[in-house]
Structure 1
């Protein structure tokens, strides 16, 4: 039996239209991929409606917002499910997504192809978001640009570097643009201890910290796509990198 394929197209609002060969009584199933060793908990079922020429469509609207994670796509026939292979994917509406203002909470969906060749959705759902932009590496200095969505920088705003594991925090002062949303900052601290440092912005002294990430485009997994050199500062090398969740972090190692 040939594994069915589903094409999909997404618009600028995040609405996704799936299209595949029509079959009576079948529906589309989205399953939030559980963590290893845990049972599946979250399913979302869509009706498939005929659109002519032996084709059917299912539309995933913007409401409700999907929980953050990875969603596998199946064809549901009664109680039987068949995981779908990808057909054509139209992601053009996502390419310039970082240029549009986004209110909070931020809900993002990116259709993608898994390593084993199946159709899936990568989703993010966050109260507010700091979209990472340009990263420049010059000598021992790293310069970062970012833009807030769903929040604004106020007096006392700080960028926070938090060492993973022990929770050590270093604070940096962001340089804010006139709109209070765009900002930049510099990392050139040669006293950072080796390890992984996660990057946040705290837009006001009492506000929750917002993770720096890059999710507003058509790239579902950028860890091995956006690769940066390290900056040598004193006796350490500081290299920015994107995690498996497209969050921006720093890897600090000893020079040499």
Structure 2
């Protein structure tokens, strides 16, 4: 039996239209992929409608907002379900998504192909978001540019580096643009201890910290796509990298 395929297109608002041969089943099922060893809990069903010329469509609108995670796509046929292979994917509306202003809370969707060749949708849902932009590594200095969505940078705003595991924090003062959204900062600290340091921005004193990440384009998994060199500062090498969640972190190792 041939595994069915579904094409999809997404617009700038995050609405996804799935298309596949007409009347292969009554609907599509999106399943939030559970953690290893846990049962599935969150499902979302879409109706399939004939659009003529032997094609059918199902639309995932902007409401409801899907919880953050990875959603596998299945074709429903009664009590049976078949995981779908990908057809053509039109993601053009996402390519320049980092250039558009986004109100909070931020809801992001990116259709993608899994490692084993199936169709899935990656989602993020965050109260506010700091979109990482250009990352420059020059000599001992690491410079990061970013843009805040869903919040504004006020007096006393700061960037925080938090060492994973122990919670040690280093604070940096960002350079803030006139719009109160764009900012940049430089990491040039040879006293950083080896380990992984996660990066946050606190837009005002006492405000919740916002994770730096790169979410607003068509790349569902950045970790092995965007690879940076390290900056050597004193006896340590500081290398920026994207985590499996597309968050931006620092890996600090001893030089040599």
- Tell me whether the two structures share a fold, i.e. TM-score over 0.5: yes
Secondary structure, aligned partner of 2:110? strand
CA distance, structure 2, for counterparts of residue 205 and residue 182 of structure 1: 18
CA distance, structure 2, for counterparts of residue 55 and residue 26 of structure 1: 13
Matched, 1:100 2:100: yes
Shift of 1:53: 1.4
In the alignment, structure 2 segments of 5+ residues that lack a partner are: none
Shift of 1:22: 1.4
Aligned to 1:151: 151
Shift of 1:26: 1.8
CA distance, structure 2, for counterparts of residue 41 and residue 185 of structure 1: 41
CA distance, structure 2, for counterparts of residue 139 and residue 24 of structure 1: 58
Matched, 1:39 2:39: yes
CA distance, structure 2, for counterparts of residue 110 and residue 78 of structure 1: 28
Matched, 1:237 2:237: yes
Matched, 1:163 2:163: yes
In the alignment, structure 1 segments of 5+ residues that lack a partner are: none
Asked whether the equivalents of residues 25 and 75 of structure 2 are also in contact (C-alpha less than 8 Å), the reply is no
Deviations 1:40-64 (Å, cap 9, x if unpaired)? 0000000000001111000000001
Secondary structure, aligned partner of 2:155? coil
Asked whether the equivalents of residues 106 and 126 of structure 2 are also in contact (C-alpha less than 8 Å), the reply is yes
CA distance, structure 2, for counterparts of residue 56 and residue 110 of structure 1: 21
Shift of 1:25: 4.7
CA distance, structure 2, for counterparts of residue 89 and residue 160 of structure 1: 38
**What value does the CA root-mean-square deviation take over the aligned residues?**
0.6
Secondary structure, aligned partner of 1:207? coil
Aligned to 1:123: 123
Moved over 2 A (4+): none
Change (3 A) 1:82 1:235: same
Per the normalisation by structure 2, the TM-score is: 0.99
CA distance, structure 2, for counterparts of residue 8 and residue 151 of structure 1: 32
Deviations 1:128-174 (Å, cap 9, x if unpaired)? 00000000001000000000000000011110000000100000000
> What is the number of equivalent residue pairs in this alignment?
256
CA distance, structure 2, for counterparts of residue 132 and residue 43 of structure 1: 31
1:216-235 aligned within 5 A: 216-235=216-235
CA distance, structure 1, for counterparts of residue 168 and residue 77 of structure 2: 51
